[in-house]
A and B are shown apart, each in its own frame.
Chain A
Amino acid sequence: MTPAPVDDARWLFKNKGMPQAAIEIENLSKEYPHGFLHLKKKKSLEDLTMRVEDGEVFGFLGPNGAGKSTTIKLLMRLIFPTAGSARILGKSIDDVAMHGSVGYLPEQPYFYDYLTAHELLDYFARFHRLTASDRSARVTAMLKKVGLETTKKIQLRKYSKGMLQRVGLAQAILHDPQVVVLDEPMSGLDPLGRREVRDIILELKGEGRTVLFSTHVLSDAEMLCDRVGVLVGGKLRGIGAPGELVDMKAQGMEILFELSGAAGNLALLEKATRTGERYRVQLPEAELYTALDALKAAGARILSVTQIKPTLEEYFMHLVETDRAQASAVEVSGK
């Protein structure tokens, strides 16, 4: 597959007057040949156009095979687009020099296991034209940052998955990159490891860097991202701030209360779920005060009253289910 040419003049003309984004993707598509004779084509990514602004934390969401890793690999030039183009910090992704300002953590990273963490980072640092003293200082600082100082002399073949992920993060930010691209950075990590990665991402954001990462963990995306993009079936189905994407209007109210002894004929209990002496009930907002009065009269202790809002997960699941329904409808009509 020959790399798709980048038409710089066309790009500049189209984006004239717009502030430069950290990552600009235009009509990026990727097809893979498959079948015995490679005559059939499978679309992994379809006509993706989006921007990641400077200093933004952007999350790529999507189920397996949605095109998240494909997009990231295209940006890193590990695979070549069938059509479209992309630029990072104003430079075409065809330009190898672009990698000097970009850090990348592959999905489920695997490094040269005959090297120690220190040797690996020193090896990678050599590609960034750092002086020997700078290299040594950066490698030491990164090992400290990811908590691998004490194990830096151990060969990577003896590292756990979580430790490898930390080495991966260290090599991605070793050269002080402006843009950091992380493919499933929380994958395979325990809660402590996930928290550490989250802290590093927030630290990078605090330093004004742009972070693009893909994840399955929607709560992480909600917590970390300024904006998210949802990819389903190789197509971008939604993009925006997590709060914008989901309908912020409350869908109802939830009351958590305790009720000991006889509850009498409290109608509310029929709709409630019970755990010991605690009850949880969901009802329309209009019925809230009537319900609270009834609970007060029955001697219940109100523990909390919260609004029910759709989560990013529900939005995500809605998109995935819609896509599956459409796909099966096409399949049925095709038959």
Chain B
Amino acid sequence: MRNVPTVAANTFREAVRDRVLYNLVFFALLMMGAAILVGQISIGIEQDVIVSLGLSAISMIGIFIAVFLGVALVSRETDKRTLYALLAKPVKRWEFLLGKFFGLVMTLTVNTAAMAAGLYVALWSVKHPLVKSDAFLLVAVYLILLKLALIVALALLFSCFTTPFLAILFTAGIYVTGLFAADLRSIKAVDLDPRALRLMQGISYLLPNFQNFNVMSAVVHGRGVPAAIVWQATLYAILYIAIVLTGAAFVFSRRNLK
């Protein structure tokens, strides 16, 4: 377990040196543009627009990084064979995987925190001073981060046994269907075979329910998020990530490297 922080720190260093955090420039420009535009066409919805746009951008940019870098965590190492020298050290394969996971989550945390700070600056520029209810934004950002960690775990799992292209496809597919997991559970199709319905509902419970991490509508309108929702989402994410990473470690520990 002592090797995990070492691998994680190097993964973070890799992301920084590969200029992953440059996306922050794009986010900053987007927020500045939005703030200027909203200031000109203001009809009393500045906060709603800025918060919606900001949180959506944080989520989308994060998802993009989580999927693409998450898949590359293992596949790049195996393709370039940088992994060979590392696994010949006293490092267990699951330690390597866990280190890679935490390294990317660390990168996403720094990235998301910087974007959240940018969002507050944009918000302050359109309606200063900030009020106490603006702190709810942090809850939304925290839940986005949990969602991103879950996506990284899924990307890592798929990249352990398939090609990078398919891993990206599978991860993106699971994310999109996971957004509708709750709808699948509550579907009441009259003309659908009951067995097919049960199968669909069964599958929906296996899929990660990404709506658990979406509190944007409440936060945009300045409403608070109940603590129970935050706790449940946290536990759900930790449990799901633990299961997915266990699966990834199981697959990877048996994999023959090229």
Indicate if the CB atoms of A114 and B17 lie closer than 8 Å.
Answer: yes
Knowing A100-B90, A123-B6, the reply to whether A1 touches B85 (Cβ < 8 A) is: no
B256 contact set on A, CB distance < 8 A:
1, 32, 78-80
Knowing A78-B257, A79-B256, A80-B254, the reply to whether A110 touches B82 (Cβ < 8 A) is: yes
B223 within 8 A of A: no
Cα distance A221–B18 when bound, in Å? 41
Cα distance A114–B82 when bound, in Å? 12
Which residue in B18, B86, B92, B257 is a CB contact (below 8 Å) of A73?
A: B257
A103 contact set on B, CB distance < 8 A:
88
Q: Mark A136-174, 1 if CB is under 8 A from B, else 0.
A: 000000000000000000000000000000001001100
B84 within 8 A of A: yes
Cα distance A105–B85 when bound, in Å? 7
B163 within 8 A of A: no
Indicate if the CB atoms of A110 and B3 lie closer than 8 Å.
Answer: no
Knowing A97-B90, A100-B90, A114-B13, the reply to whether A171 touches B6 (Cβ < 8 A) is: no
A193 within 8 A of B: no
Indicate if the CB atoms of B91 and A77 lie closer than 8 Å.
Answer: no
Indicate if the CB atoms of A96 and B90 lie closer than 8 Å.
Answer: yes
Which residue in A32, A108, A114 is a CB contact (below 8 Å) of B14?
A: A114
Q: Which of A57-65, A124-132, A200-208 contacts B (4 or more CB under 8 A)?
A: A124-132
Cα distance A73–B10 when bound, in Å? 24
Indicate if the CB atoms of B254 and A2 lie closer than 8 Å.
Answer: yes
A3 within 8 A of B: yes
Which residue in A32, A99, A111, A114 is a CB contact (below 8 Å) of B88?
A: A99
Nearest-CB residue, chain B, relative to A111: B82
B221 within 8 A of A: no
Indicate if the CB atoms of B82 and A127 lie closer than 8 Å.
Answer: no
A231 within 8 A of B: no
B30 to chain A, nearest CB (A): 28
Q: What's the interface size class on A, roughly?
A: 35 or more
Indicate if the CB atoms of A76 and B18 lie closer than 8 Å.
Answer: no
A108 contact set on B, CB distance < 8 A:
81
Nearest-CB residue, chain B, relative to A80: B256
Cα distance A106–B82 when bound, in Å? 9
Indicate if the CB atoms of B18 and A99 lie closer than 8 Å.
Answer: no
Nearest-CB residue, chain B, relative to A79: B256
B18 to chain A, nearest CB (A): 6
A102 within 8 A of B: yes
Knowing A1-B256, A3-B254, A106-B81, the reply to whether A78 touches B87 (Cβ < 8 A) is: yes
Cα distance A109–B92 when bound, in Å? 21
B80 within 8 A of A: yes
B188 within 8 A of A: no
Indicate if the CB atoms of A102 and B88 lie closer than 8 Å.
Answer: yes
Give chain A interface residues in 46-82, CB to chain B under 8 Å: 73, 76-80
Give chain B interface residues in 218-235, CB to chain A under 8 Å: none
Which residue in A79, A109, A127 is a CB contact (below 8 Å) of B257?
A: A79
A126 contact set on B, CB distance < 8 A:
3, 6
B132 within 8 A of A: no
A102 contact set on B, CB distance < 8 A:
88
Q: Mark B146-157, 1 if CB is under 8 A from A, else 0.
A: 000000000000
B219 to chain A, nearest CB (A): 37
Q: Chain B residues in contact with chain A, CB under 8 A?
A: 2-3, 6, 10, 13-14, 17-18, 80-82, 84-92, 254, 256-257
A-B contacts, 25 listed (Cβ < 8 Å): A1-B254, A1-B256, A73-B257, A76-B88, A78-B256, A78-B257, A79-B257, A80-B254, A80-B256, A99-B88, A102-B88, A103-B88, A106-B81, A106-B84, A106-B85, A110-B80, A111-B82, A124-B89, A126-B6, A127-B91, A128-B90, A129-B2, A168-B85, A171-B85, A172-B85
